[in-house]
Amino acid sequence: MKIAVLYGGVSAEREVSLSTGKQMMTALQEKGHEVVGVDFHPDRLQEIIALDVDMVVLGLHGKYGEDGRLQSVLDMLKLPYVGSGVMASALAMDKARSKQFFQGAGIRTAKELVLDRKLYKEAQVETLEFGFPAVVKPNHEGSTIGLTIAQSLADLKAGIETAFKHDTTVLVEEFIAGTEVTVAVMGGKGAVRALPVVEIVPKNTYYDYESKYAAGGSEHFVPARLDEATTALLQKQAVQAHEALGCEVYSRVDFIVPPDGSAPVILEVNTLPGMTPTSLFPDAAREIGLSYPDMMEELITLSLNK
């Protein structure tokens, strides 16, 4: 097939996307496809309109790539692409709204306070229902961009200002201590399955940007060191979250597993998860016998059938 890989983009996750795109192109070429690489920019839509390919693979992350906008352009051009459609992509990028869908599916979420830049006043955070530490993050960013773990009111206010530099909506959430895990989800309609749970042990205090993408920044245990019941629950809820948002083909669902035995807490669904050399989705695929090129071929096949 002739396949276009869109990568790069203009979001804060551009560097991650460049690495993802490179890996994807190499893998697809190994499978014998003719691959066209496009460093995507929304000001150069003519490059997309002019594409003459059988399939588009999205190696983009964040705004203008993962949020449904580009998917809508591809839909109008009748260009088939890998992954979720417009609505699911937009919902998954909106952390506050997606949490409402998770709650509707019976999945535990962290307590939260949603702040709007135009309406924000410091008095809104003088008293937090859930106290400190608190997590502050932009509502529409990934890869821990603009994230702060606030230990005090001063930290919280500074963290909110940082997050507002990246987004007009900011989420303040209770901090849930525990084991960070992620569940890759793959499949077509009626045949969606969860891959083995991956446990993440960051070298830094938190699973921050460096821990995610620097070589040796974190250790991944596949399968996660969890009991069977917790593993089964995480896999079930990952599929539920994927389907609640209307995701297609693949996604990656992040959770925290508290040490007290209480229910796992869902963090977010990633509709275009990282596919870099240190990424989690390929780790889970490898555990079920899918090499990186085989995994990409499977995603192409599922997308052709969606």
Residue 183: CB partners within 8 Å, gap ≥ 6? 194, 195, 197, 198, 234, 235, 238, 252, 253, 255, 284
Contact call for residues 94 and 158 (beta carbons, < 8 A): no
- Is 174 marked within a binding site? no
Domain borders along the chain are 2-83, 91-108+177-304, 112-174
Catalytic member of 11, 17, 98, 143 = 143
How many Å apart are CA 105 and CA 287, to the nearest integer? Answer: 28
Instruction: Give the pLDDT score at 63.
Output: 86
pLDDT tens track, the chain, 306 positions: 999 999 999 988 899 899 999 999 999 999 999 999 999 999 999 999 999 999 999 999 988 999 999 999 999 999 999 999 999 999 999 999 999 999 999 999 999 999 999 999 988 998 888 999 999 999 987 657 889 999 999 999 999 999 999 899 999 999 999 999 999 999 988 899 999 999 999 887 665 555 555 566 689 999 999 999 999 999 999 999 999 999 999 999 999 999 999 999 999 999 999 998 778 999 999 999 999 999 999 999 999 988
Q: What is the pTM of this model?
A: 0.91
Active site annotation includes 279:
yes
**Which of the residues 13, 173, 174, 199 is marked catalytic?**
13
Report the CATH superfamily, name and number, of domain 112-174.
ATP-grasp fold, A domain (3.30.1490.20)
Token code pair at residue 16:
């991650």
Bond from prior residue into 202 cis (ω within 30 degrees of 0)? no
Cβ-contact 185, 253 below 8 angstroms: yes
Tokens found for residue 174: 């209770």
Common-topology check for domains 91-108+177-304 and 112-174? no
The CATH number that domain 2-83 falls under is 3.40.50.20
Nearest residue to 28 (alpha-carbon basis) of 301, 306, 305: 301
13 is catalytic: yes
- Burial class, 237, CB count within 10 angstroms (exposed 0-12 / middle 13-18 / buried 19+): buried
Query: Contact, 31 vs 290, CB < 8 A?
Result: no
Find out whether 270 is annotated in a ligand binding site.
yes
User: Is 204 annotated as contributing to ligand binding?
Assistant: no
Identify the pLDDT of residue 106. Answer: 97
DSSP-based three-state secondary structure for 198:
strand
Superfamily of domain 91-108+177-304: ATP-grasp fold, B domain (3.30.470.20)
| pLDDT computed for residue 212 by the predictor | 54
Amino acid identity, residue 95? K
* Angle, vertex CA 167, rays to CA 162 and CA 172, nearest 5: 65
Q: 17, 19, 89, 279: which one is catalytic?
A: 279
Dump pLDDT digits (tens) for 43-84: 999 999 999 999 999 999 988 999 999 999 999 999 999 999
pLDDT at 123: 86
The token duo for 223 is 């399968």
Half-sphere exposure of 113 (CA within 13 A, CB side): 22
